[in-house]
Amino acid sequence: MRVGVLLSGEGTSLENLCERIDAGEVPAEVVVVIASKESAGGLERARRRGIPAVAVPRKRHPDVGEFNDRLHVELEKHGAELVALLGFLSPFQIRGYPGRVLNVHPALIPAFSGRGFYGSRVHEAVLAQGCRVSGATVHFADDEYDNGPIILQEAVPVREDDDVASLAARVQEAERRLVPEAVRLYAEGRLVVEGRRVRILERPASPADGPR
């Protein structure tokens, strides 16, 4: 499974996905990393691994359509079959990838999701509301923020003395488990979308299962 990764930050989630792929746990290959900022640390991580790394700076493409034109040119050029949004803070238009875009959100959707809830703002809101539980979500993305069907979620506790940094770190630990698992399940053909629900098949779909 050829995966295109889009990111805006340091790429720790990319690094972790690559490690799980290298360990043989995820039948996938990251074929291109695209960042919405030239300064994104994820680009350097990709280059160190020999993965094509491209900056498509959002600020140089103020028109969201043109910005997405550039993203999709790169995805297609590298033959991405699946798109993973790993901390991508700009709007991504699905276009030719319906049902083939995974997004990770640092909260338990539907809580603290949608427009305005990204990055540390999510954790600030969780702490401000005094929640005892937060978590991470991997879902299929569509053209609305944080809207598509949920694939995996993991809850994490919010501690009495948490600040944004400590809560973010705990949520990122959960993300490091969820993202490779979701890519694996997708690559094995085990995710079946039924309306807003995602069913996970017990074992990989195969022709012997008959028509589906």
Catalytic residues: 105
Q: What angle do CA 85, 193, 80 make, to 5 degrees?
A: 35
What residues have CB less than 8 Å from 17, skipping those under 6 apart?
Answer: 3, 5, 26, 30, 84, 86, 179, 180, 183
- Interface residue with its own copies among 108, 168, 183, 187 (CB under 8 A) is 108
Nearer to its own copies, 89 or 127 (CB): 127
- Interface residue with its own copies among 196, 204, 205, 209 (CB under 8 A) is 196
User: Which region, judged by CB under 8 A, interacts with its own copies, from 58-66, 74-82, 92-100, 149-157?
Assistant: 149-157
Note if the bond before 91 is cis, omega within 30 degrees: no
Q: Are 175 and 155 in contact (CB under 8 A)?
A: no
23 binds its own copies (CB under 8 A): no
Positive or negative, the CA dihedral 11, 72, 89, 8 is: positive
- Interface residue with its own copies among 10, 154, 173, 188 (CB under 8 A) is 154
- Interface residue with its own copies among 24, 50, 62, 130 (CB under 8 A) is 130
Nearer to its own copies, 165 or 200 (CB): 200
Report, in Å, the least distance between residue 174 CB and its own copies. Answer: 11
- Interface residue with its own copies among 55, 89, 94, 150 (CB under 8 A) is 150
Strand boundaries in the chain, DSSP class E:
2-7, 29-35, 53-55, 82-85, 101-105, 133-140, 150-157, 191-194, 197-200
Report, in Å, the least distance between residue 111 CB and its own copies. Answer: 4
Nearer to its own copies, 36 or 134 (CB): 134
**Site for its own copies (CB under 8 A): how many residues?**
27
What residues have CB less than 8 Å from 108, skipping those under 6 apart?
Answer: 133, 134, 135, 136, 137, 153, 155
1 binds its own copies (CB under 8 A): no
Nearest to 178 by CA among 158, 197, 150, 198: 150
Nearer to its own copies, 44 or 188 (CB): 188
